[in-house]
Chain A
Amino acid sequence: MKRLGVLTLPLMTGVLAAQTPAAPAPAARDTSRQLVLGTAIPAAGTLVAVTNATIITATHGTIDKGTVLIRNGKIAAVGKDIAVPAGAQIIDGTGKYVMPGIIDAHSHSSGEAINEGSRSVTAQVRMEDVLREDAIGMYRELAGGVTTLNILHGSANTIGGQNATVKIRWGLPVDSMLFAGAPPGIKFALGENVRQTNVGNIPGRTPRYPRTRMGVEELLRESFTRAREYQAEWKAYEDAKTLRRKDAKNPEAEPVPPKRDLQLDALVEILEGKRLVHAHSYRSDEILMLLKVAKDFGFRIASLQHVLEGYKVADEIAAANTGASTFADNWAYKLEAFDAIPFNAALMAERGVKVSINSDSDERARRLYQEAAKAMKYGGASEEEAIRMITLNAAWQLGVDKLTGSIDVGKDADLAIFNGHPFAPASRVEMTLIDGRVFFDRNKAPTLEYLIELMKRRPRANTTSEGAQ
């Protein structure tokens, strides 16, 4: 690409280049992406040290004046007396708080489509197919310390689409945002949205089945019964293939493979425990219904989403080894959301449920740390428990707790660096790292404050042609 305009250049100066002037900007870097996204693509986190910071680990307490050492994108060491190797990129954490990168277990931020609402079972559709890398909501979330998102299908369908677990590697093509190693998942939904009670009757149009909660359960059972038949059909085919091979003397026609059905493939993966179910739910009766259906068909619900009446059936949820991902204090926006209380998260946690607090909104996702703090205020969750509600517990619900969600050696270096305690009202995120790479730096971000700084710094000769400041 050709040279860029004068104005765009300062925005593209790399984070590294600014801090270690010796490192030249890589020449071959494709600048066309930077123009449109407005931020630099960060250098690889080969050797980075965050020093002298208060480190909230989420698993083994808080470390005062500690160091996190990052090698090749992973946490190599964390503690008080960590030797920093020569040549490491140093991020001075003096006076700062470091916590694990925040995980939003319920997001729609980067979907170019969200609900394939034409049918009530759409297990074949995949959020991965429709992601966009430039959704501004994701950048704002990055600025709120969020590193991982569970991009879910909407709640229009009983069995919705397949989810996409992404890391917000802002500036890179969308394929590079997928979280490698995250198990596949799927969205289920119960109640009013699925029954379409909020959709008026359209003359000349048959209302979509199901119209009642009875119908929702029936549709779930019917779908998994179909999936079992399909599973058996494939097994019979595999068996027939084996049998035919044994009888080589009397050659038989090769059996015809069954028709591959992408919807049933996904449902079979659920039956086989390979695909995690994230189920939109509100009322305790429908929660019990879903847990029963899952038990009858021998699979586990990985997380109940919203689950505003979860506190009523916390023991049952815990016994099913199911997580709960809820709002801190958002309710009464529809009939089935009336029986909610702000103590929900803490009460469920107390009964042994792995609880996370999610956003389901581009706006709330920017300040999940404040949402988590409410679990301490209401219900008295411990500080570490509240931190886990937006980190490790969410990671567990998404099946990535071995990879991220806490500051432990061997995990991905996904970190949020705050200028104060994350739960203090005036704190804000200074820097967000994913795999040890600085994807957000408030001092370099194209925020209004930063642009004003740039204007002040710009030599006069360049400004004259564009008008007075």
Chain B
Amino acid sequence: MRLTPAVRALSLAAAFLAPGAASLRAQSDTWALTNARIQTVTKGVIDKGTILIRKGLIEAVGPAVTIPADARVMDLAGKTVSPSLIDLTSALGLAAPTTGGGGGGGQGGGTQQAQSGPRGVEPERDVARELKVAPGDVKPIRDAGIGVVLVSPSRGLFRGMSALVPLRDSVGEADVIKPQVAMHIGYQGVSGDYPGTLLGVIAYQRQALYDAQRQGVLLDRFRTAPRGIARPEHDPGIDALVPVVRGQKPAFIEASNENEIRRSVRLAKEFNLKATVVGATEGFLALDALAGRQAVVSVNYPQPTATTGWSYRLSQRRALNDSAATASEVQKRLEGNAAALNKAGIKFALATGGTRSSDFLGNVRKAIAAGLPAAVALEALTIRPAEFAGVDQILGSIEAGKIANLVVSNGDLLADSARISTVFVDGIRYAVAPPPARPAGGGNAVAAAQVAGTWTMTLTSPQGPLEITMTLAQSGSTFSGTMTSQMGSMEITGGEISGRIATWTTILQVGGQSITLNYRGEVDGNRMTGSAELGNFGSGTFTAEKKP
């Protein structure tokens, strides 16, 4: 069925006449997607069917759906519709983590002034209340087929509570699908204070969770019979952890390498947490620990040498001429992670884990090539994350009554040749432009920042500030160089630039031990700010300026 041209013109005019209500108007649109191949995820595949969307919800789906008169029809013959994807690892709309050390110089000022923003020890932090999403931030993510993201702070030991956010062009607190989804936990310490290192971080977490257990008992007691009992102290942080230790609020623990995964599972066991391991890059090395648990698996595959531990592991085997063979073998293992988890019967969702959105589906396809069944991959991108976020009643599959979040692609969404043409979020249609033709010889869409030159850097760590001179030479999106300070001179390895983000590693030799220091900086012209993981020394933040 088709609308008469007159009716179409009328509805178009209405849209133009009330620009202020554009979003509401768009949402109330009724769409009939016809002749499509429909991957419902939960109810199998419909080879040729119709999806009816009304007021942001899926009203009906099936091979024979009556199309109402007010519906706008989209003929999707030859195309596939899947639920739009859900990424549980996003930092969209959050201010970049404050980089501890206030102005350099060091004159005056107390110890407190260094920290202004969140320090990563704010269990009570509610991300839904601080979302600031720009339309330009949303589009590239949505163009990768993602309709909903779980936003959480990316650093710290108690990072706060996440919010499930639909990827509409304009989205604010009122649009949040679910606030306070989970308590996000990680292993970064506080720069220049307790807990500064992994040692302190875990001890701090343990103490806080014991405090929360006790607080729960006291609060209960006080609620039942407040008279004659000293009232419990009000502590927003500890109060926020009470439902976590009661197993009511999920704990999302970011743990990538094997030992982090084992640590997170130990913590979950000790406090009986409803825990999900997030990242799980080396999950295939900790299948025993993950058995019976759930994971959000990142497809942001690290270079073998850039992951904690791998440089050690590889160095043992890098004798003679086998380094390339070993590295590629390891790379295959990393890409086969999801397949290994699947084989072991571990429930998991797939997530970007910081992958560039344009690389996301490509990396999912690598996991499939490494042995993950495509059907499992699709579940892991839709219904599974919906389950983990506690919204599988309303999201994650194409079923009547669920939110109309859909992806239209020519060909199977996870097939190598698939191209996404349209994404629906809350029933709002967003067209996806074909990717711009890449310049000959490949290369990234975003030009890599230029870092070549001499930089003066101030690194603030638990040991105090350290002045470093950094000399860099750049070749495309990679760079090399040296960092010189009173601790000596260290060579930079694995220097990579992705857009404005520069990452690199140095190895510090102290007392017969090698300590891997990982840096991540955001380049803004001649300035760079960022953070550093300093192994035994904890973590730190830095600012740097390029000498003219």
Question: Quick check: is B64 within 8 A (CB to CB) of the other chain?
Answer: no
Please, could you name 7 A-B residue pairs with CB atoms under 8 Å apart, sorted by A? A7-B322, A111-B536, A116-B199, A117-B197, A173-B258, A175-B262, A261-B207
Known A36-B313, A125-B199, A125-B203: A118·B194 in contact at CB below 8 Å: yes
Known A36-B313, A113-B538: A131·B107 in contact at CB below 8 Å: no
Residues of chain B within 8 A (CB-CB) of A455 are: 320
Question: Quick check: is A215 within 8 A (CB to CB) of the other chain?
Answer: no
How many whole Å from A368's CB to the nearest CB in chain B?
13
Question: Quick check: is A262 within 8 A (CB to CB) of the other chain?
Answer: yes
The A interface, classified by DSSP as helix, strand, loop or mixed, is: loop
CB contact between B259 and one of A112, A206, A448 (< 8 Å): that residue? A112
Question: Quick check: is B73 within 8 A (CB to CB) of the other chain?
Answer: no
Are A204 and B329 interface neighbours, CB within 8 A? Answer: no
**Cα separation A111 to B322 with both chains bound (whole Å):** 29
Known A1-B340, A259-B214: A116·B194 in contact at CB below 8 Å: yes
Are A133 and B259 interface neighbours, CB within 8 A? Answer: yes
CB contact between A363 and one of B192, B266, B325, B512 (< 8 Å): that residue? B512
Chain A residues with a Cβ closer than 8 Å to the other chain, count:
70
Most interface-central of A117, A261, A452 (chain B CB within 10 A): A117
Question: Quick check: is B401 within 8 A (CB to CB) of the other chain?
Answer: no
The size bracket of the interface on B is 35 or more
Residues of chain B within 8 A (CB-CB) of A161 are: 199, 203
Are A253 and B110 interface neighbours, CB within 8 A? Answer: no
> What residue in chain B is nearest A449 (Cβ atoms)?
B319
**Cα separation A259 to B326 with both chains bound (whole Å):** 52
Binds A, one of B162-170, B291-299, B426-434, B460-468: B460-468
Question: Quick check: is B284 within 8 A (CB to CB) of the other chain?
Answer: yes
CB contact between A134 and one of B107, B192, B313, B513 (< 8 Å): that residue? B313
List B residues at the A interface (Cβ < 8 Å): 106-111, 192-200, 202-203, 206-207, 210-211, 214, 218, 221, 225, 228-229, 258-259, 262-263, 266, 284-289, 308-310, 312-313, 315-317, 319-322, 325-326, 329-330, 333, 336, 340, 371, 462-465, 511-513, 535-536, 538
Are A259 and B285 interface neighbours, CB within 8 A? Answer: no
Known A5-B329, A113-B198, A129-B203: A38·B320 in contact at CB below 8 Å: no
Known A38-B317, A139-B316, A253-B228: A5·B325 in contact at CB below 8 Å: yes
Proximity bits, A102-145, B CB within 8 Å = 1, else 0: 00000011011111111100101111011111111101000000
Are A257 and B214 interface neighbours, CB within 8 A? Answer: yes
> What residue in chain B is nearest A5 (Cβ atoms)?
B329
**Cα separation A139 to B286 with both chains bound (whole Å):** 21
Are B259 and A174 interface neighbours, CB within 8 A? Answer: yes
**Cα separation A32 to B308 with both chains bound (whole Å):** 17
Are A203 and B107 interface neighbours, CB within 8 A? Answer: yes
Residues of chain A within 8 A (CB-CB) of B316 are: 37-38, 136, 139, 446
Are A7 and B536 interface neighbours, CB within 8 A? Answer: no
Known A129-B202, A139-B316, A448-B319: A466·B218 in contact at CB below 8 Å: no
Are B536 and A4 interface neighbours, CB within 8 A? Answer: no
Are B512 and A125 interface neighbours, CB within 8 A? Answer: no
Known A112-B198, A112-B259, A131-B259: A118·B203 in contact at CB below 8 Å: no
> What residue in chain A is nearest B210 (Cβ atoms)?
A260
**Cα separation A260 to B538 with both chains bound (whole Å):** 26
Proximity bits, A255-295, B CB within 8 Å = 1, else 0: 01101111000000000000000000000000000000000
Most interface-central of B308, B313, B465, B513 (chain A CB within 10 A): B513
**Cα separation A253 to B285 with both chains bound (whole Å):** 50
Are A127 and B199 interface neighbours, CB within 8 A? Answer: yes
Are B313 and A37 interface neighbours, CB within 8 A? Answer: yes
> What residue in chain B is nearest A360 (Cβ atoms)?
B511
**Cα separation A67 to B286 with both chains bound (whole Å):** 39
Are B198 and A118 interface neighbours, CB within 8 A? Answer: no
Residues of chain A within 8 A (CB-CB) of B326 are: 7-8
CB contact between B199 and one of A5, A153, A361 (< 8 Å): that residue? A153
Known A4-B329, A33-B285: A262·B207 in contact at CB below 8 Å: yes
> What residue in chain A is nearest B260 (Cβ atoms)?
A112
Are A129 and B199 interface neighbours, CB within 8 A? Answer: yes
Question: Quick check: is A23 within 8 A (CB to CB) of the other chain?
Answer: no
Residues of chain B within 8 A (CB-CB) of A133 are: 258-259
Are B199 and A130 interface neighbours, CB within 8 A? Answer: yes
How many whole Å from B211's CB to the nearest CB in chain A?
7
> What residue in chain A is nearest B536 (Cβ atoms)?
A114
How many whole Å from B214's CB to the nearest CB in chain A?
6
Known A173-B262, A262-B207: A119·B317 in contact at CB below 8 Å: no
Are B200 and A118 interface neighbours, CB within 8 A? Answer: yes
Given A117-B462, A253-B229; 18 other pairs, CB 8 A cutoff: A8-B329, A35-B330, A36-B333, A112-B198, A114-B197, A117-B463, A118-B197, A124-B206, A129-B199, A132-B309, A135-B312, A173-B288, A175-B266, A202-B465, A204-B108, A205-B464, A262-B210, A452-B320
> What residue in chain B is nearest A133 (Cβ atoms)?
B259
**Cα separation A139 to B333 with both chains bound (whole Å):** 23
